[in-house]
């Protein structure tokens, strides 16, 4: 038998392969690449710091990008339909052929590449959904008011039009429903056949589009699908038993908190530890977001995963914290536990900086940890005298920036003295007071974000003006809305002339 010889020429240095060339010769692929590039004033933005709790996998990136496109799709189709476009006759929804999760992923990819408006116009299903919702709103004033107040939820309903299980013909809201209840009623009518955990309804109550991940979860569970099977398609990490525990989550929780609660209970973590972690926002973490990167890349190419190593480090720290509290939590009061969690998150964040030593729980006793935590809190509350930072001041890099919207007034201002850093530390209970000498040396820039005159976030930029970290009270991660404000500030806040000259 003749020896098989591989006749393929090896690629030269920096030479693209044929799969790369095929992909980038494709118009849709180029459009998707353009969609990945941030706009000057993005409607939604994912923090580029190394410590944020939620970093997108390639599959999640589809959902995030689609949600970002929906955010600018105000009152989708309603204005245009009022001006001359003939309504499309509503048709009964047809059952999805094939695996529900796989079909959803293909549809969401089309939404990302083509945009929601084009996707709706391209199918009879989308046109019928838009017309049907408009006619139902015309006949039901309470629904019309909800559509005007919740454009994001309306956009999400239209984005999920292929997965509607009932028609709006003849639909009427419950007799005692008004406002928000009407919107939830129409959403359940269109998308839900079986009971769904209550926390998955929470994202539909805001003005922004619900995160696509939780919308997908609602459709999968509400139509009898398996989250465990859907996880293989979307790159999530969902144990089979998680769904049962999620159904028992406290109804007042949001999706991330509920999933975290369910995962802790699935792991047989004791109630005191679950309760204590649930009261500390810095430890809110989506345990179904795989920290090692996507399990499945839906585009089938060899692009690097979007989940950095820091996401895996964050999950490892969270797991080790849970295990340590399981072993030593009984020796701590609730107040002691909060102090310990504050200190541990500070050590973890500082350990992730370049040249830092990663924080580990191994070998630490309750007594030694509590002593270190109390010492840390004393430095935070008396931060003015630490390292003599109070007498230090440095030049400003950016002017103050203000923004007003439906959520209120936002103000971002640079902190340019040790006194200012100490006040920020005392207000938000984190360690920014110790960054004075980094600011003097030009290694860091520190900014304070206030919402309606209340301090909300602290931002650190490096010498190049790139985001290093964004943290709230007790080192909590920022919310999606807060990240949108930070993104708008970065693109709009002017750099002062002296800083530009440097």
Dihedral of the alpha carbons of 261, 267, 272, 277, in degrees to the nearest 10:
-50
DSSP strands (E only) in 250-405: 401-405
pLDDT at 265: 93
Helix axes 141-149, 151-159, angle to 10 degrees: 100
CB 379 within 8 A of CB 339: no
Q: Mapping DSSP to helix (H, G, I), strand (E, B) and coil, where does residue 398 land?
A: strand
pLDDT at 448: 94
pLDDT at 491: 82
Low-confidence ranges of the chain (pLDDT < 50): 1, 4-8, 13-14, 22-60, 71-91, 97, 291-308, 384-390, 500-502
pLDDT at 19: 53
How far apart CA 150 and CA 73 sit, in angstroms, is 12
CA distance readout (Å), 395 to 8, 212, 219, 348, 385: 59, 42, 52, 30, 21
- CA terminus-to-terminus distance, the chain: 71
CB 346 within 8 A of CB 359: no
DSSP 448: E
Percent of the chain that is helix, strand, coil (3-state, to 5): 55, 10, 40
pLDDT at 62: 52
DSSP 495: B
The DSSP secondary structure of 131-185, one letter per residue, reads HHHHHHHHH-HHHHHHHHH-HHHHHHHHHTGGG--S--TT----TT--THHHHHH
pLDDT at 98: 57
pLDDT at 364: 94
Report residue 331: phi and psi, to 5°.
-85, 0
pLDDT at 99: 84
Q: Which residues of 212-247 are buried (b: 16+ CB within 10 A; e: fewer)?
A: bbbbbbbbbbbbebbbeebbebbbbbbbeebbebbe
pLDDT at 383: 56
**447 forms bridges with which residues in the sheet?**
414, 459
How far apart CA 423 and CA 438 sit, in angstroms, is 17
Which pTM was predicted? 0.70
Which residue carries 């993005």 as its tokens?
42
pLDDT at 59: 44
């Amino acid at each position: 038998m003749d020896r098989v010889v591989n006749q393929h020429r090896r690629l030269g240095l920096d030479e693209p392969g044929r799969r790369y060339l095929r992909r980038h010769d494709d118009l849709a692929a180029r459009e998707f690449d353009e969609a990945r590039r941030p706009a000057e004033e993005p409607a939604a933005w994912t923090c580029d710091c190394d410590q944020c709790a939620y970093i997108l996998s390639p599959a999640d990136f589809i959902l995030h990008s689609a949600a970002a496109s929906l955010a600018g799709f105000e009152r989708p189709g309603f204005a245009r339909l009022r001006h001359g476009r003939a309504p499309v006759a509503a048709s009964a929804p047809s059952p999805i052929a094939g695996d529900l999760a796989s079909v959803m992923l293909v549809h969401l990819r089309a939404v990302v590449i083509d945009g929601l408006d084009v996707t709706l116009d391209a199918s009879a299903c989308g046109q019928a959904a838009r017309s049907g919702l408009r006619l139902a709103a015309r006949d039901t004033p309470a629904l019309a008011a909800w559509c005007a107040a919740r454009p994001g939820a309306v956009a999400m309903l239209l984005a999920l039009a292929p997965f509607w299980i009932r028609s709006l013909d003849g639909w009427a809201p419950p007799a005692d429903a008004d406002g928000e209840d009407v919107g939830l009623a129409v959403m359940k009518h269109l998308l839900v056949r079986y009971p769904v955990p209550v926390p998955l309804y929470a994202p539909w109550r805001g003005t922004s589009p619900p995160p696509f991940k939780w919308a997908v979860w609602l459709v999968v569970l509400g139509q009898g699908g398996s989250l465990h099977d859907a996880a293989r398609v979307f790159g999530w990490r969902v144990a089979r038993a998680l769904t049962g525990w999620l159904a028992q989550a406290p109804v007042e929780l949001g999706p991330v908190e509920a999933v975290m609660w369910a995962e802790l209970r699935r792991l047989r973590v004791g109630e005191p530890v679950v309760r204590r972690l649930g009261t500390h926002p810095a430890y809110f973490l989506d345990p179904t977001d795989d920290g090692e990167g996507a399990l499945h890349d839906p585009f089938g190419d060899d692009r690097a995963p979007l989940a950095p190593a820091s996401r895996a480090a964050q999950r490892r720290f969270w797991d080790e914290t849970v295990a340590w509290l399981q072993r030593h939590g009984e020796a701590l009061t609730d107040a002691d536990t909060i102090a310990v969690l504050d200190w541990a998150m500070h050590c973890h964040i500082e350990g992730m900086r370049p040249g830092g030593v990663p924080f580990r729980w191994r070998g630490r006793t309750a007594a030694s940890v509590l002593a270190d935590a109390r010492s840390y809190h004393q430095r935070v509350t008396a931060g003015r005298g630490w390292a003599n930072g109070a007498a230090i001041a440095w030049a400003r890099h950016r002017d103050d920036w203000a923004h007003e919207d439906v959520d209120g007034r936002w103000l971002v201002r640079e902190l340019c003295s040790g006194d200012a850093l100490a006040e920020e530390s005392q207000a938000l209970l984190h360690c920014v007071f110790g960054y004075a000498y980094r600011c003097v040396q030009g290694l860091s820039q520190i900014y304070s974000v206030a919402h309606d005159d209340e301090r909300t976030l602290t931002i650190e930029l490096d010498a190049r003006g790139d985001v290093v970290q964004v943290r709230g009270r007790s080192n909590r991660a920022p919310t999606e809305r807060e990240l949108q404000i930070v993104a708008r500030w970065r693109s709009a806040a002017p750099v002062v002339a002296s800083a530009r000259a440097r």
